[in-house]
Structure 1
């Protein structure tokens, strides 16, 4: 096995956990809880001691109490987030610590909070999942750095150094062989990381993987090409991870000419990152072409219909639909119907007519052409058993709860308190499952 492949295996290191609490009995309980875990455990009796540990040790996961003298948990986690952004941060809090939870979410950028008294098994699972996430992120960064490095070396080589080229090529073949077993998991990892970096939309967005899959089936795309297409849909924005926030969060039409030039290179850069991984060469080709239009007015190369693979034409239609309804392409978001009208108007010039018709058929099947069957409610109208139908964010845009969560009484009370502390009402959209008992007066008020 090559040194590069050996380094890849070496990424599997013991994770490290920092426990911070001013109460020694609580700290002792936490330490006992993770005694048998496959990790290095560090403890601190205060936020300041925690910061000293972070100076000396590489910490992966932090579990901190909210209520501590001199420096509160959220204050400690805010400093940790600024100085050590790659750590995953978890807050332990009492039921009434609503202000601490809000501060930890907004300042400390915690991934989770756990109410006291905690459930041992759930806390252990939460920390274990955090270790898995950290390890996958390290592995992904190593893989991406490795592929980029090898590509740069190959590009810089002189054609006359045939022996060197063969040697480096052989190394890439060996690396690709080592990655063959895990590359599907790497694709999913890329997709998860990209989802964390991608701007969140305030509208309900269809899953693009489901869209391209349904469109491809309607258009009789071969199964092998469908696999490449879904992987390209997952990783199409891969190179945008390096974008500055201004470039990533500004609609395309509002970018300066210089910014547009940089933005237009993302399909090329994404394809370049993947082209030396043999199983992903077809995926790289789809990513390279997914912003090209049939008449040659797309980017990055301005290629025309004959040069654009059918798979890429499908992804172009689905991707532009999503960007139109989320506001990534134009200054304002479009309704489903307005987005479809635009795609239809460009059918045959920008977009494949058959792909546009396939998208329309798929959306009709998914009933996206009709209004979403959910209800906008006030926090005081929430009832245990209701299900969030859209992601919940505060007025700053900070993520609070994911859609699909079934609301319990404790979660509802927490949301009410958080809303009060923010002094602005949340936009709460819920589904009411069949059989859930809701008073007639409340149902009538909601339906207004």
Structure 2
């Protein structure tokens, strides 16, 4: 029988990772001759949820298993409990791991649930109804939401290679040869992305904290990511690695936008006023009363918003968040500048002394502030130099789901390319790790 499996919420603030547990589980299945039908999938869900785990990701994979859904769910759940008790310590930190198993042929029936999980908040009761409708086997509590939703994924994909540390190294500082990361990134760009910050000259691939992930490299071709595993040098011998298909960098969170708190919104704004606060963050007031915030950390996007002015017209993508000061605020990740104000009306100069003037009222003329001369005249047009251009500005450190501007057509990314079978990639990974 063929089944699809979803897994979520196996990490904790001090240890563990859902992808790490999934890699251990996949290795177990392969060693026991249980066949994977495809790559495992790393599925990012709604990035705006405040109670999300670190990356708000769930895992899905599909296998051939000689047994029932219940038997398969029981096997995975037993291993889940062992992991969160003895590895991640997740139960001590109120983690609620979840597992979902359904018939492989029913995966597409969960697409709408997946879209909702990427764009909104899902109550557990709704997931229970979905599971009953399609005959899914669920184990766990809150984690079943992401588990079942991840199974419904379909759409454009990217890839990520995740590497894992030996357990005795989890508390050690990660050290990586930056020149090897840079060489890999420069050689294969734009087939790889979000791996280096060339402004601050630091790698973006290293994980932080005590989790088992050492680094993750993102790209469009698993064959290239394998070259990264061979090229990138670390200060310790890696324990495991796995390549996942993913919805990262696909803008899927914009497919279904909304106007409620914790949803992603896509809308337009006629700028009313801007204010720079808190050491560089920018508040943008729109004429329709919406309030946008652009954080200093967004880099070039933040610099662009500082140069907006009254009357400019932009489109924006952002997250709706509650705010004590504003009621609601929209944290923007991208703007498209459609129109810039490049001129303004000003009082004419005095014809006698060229001094500045003030208006005496509608159709009553002007008075010179310097010499007092009164005269009739018209406002003059002054051109405003702008440090902006029309087009798109995006945060330097974009979120997992945000598509880099250079990835224009993911649907056709692999039209003329040969992508290796999962088992070829899997064996290549192990050959590299065990030969070092």
Structure index of larger Rg: 2
- Using the size of structure 1 for normalisation, the TM-score is 0.25
Q: Tell me: higher relative CO, structure 1 or 2? Use CA pairs within 8 A at least 6 residues apart.
A: 2
- Using the size of structure 2 for normalisation, the TM-score is 0.26
Greater fraction strand? 2
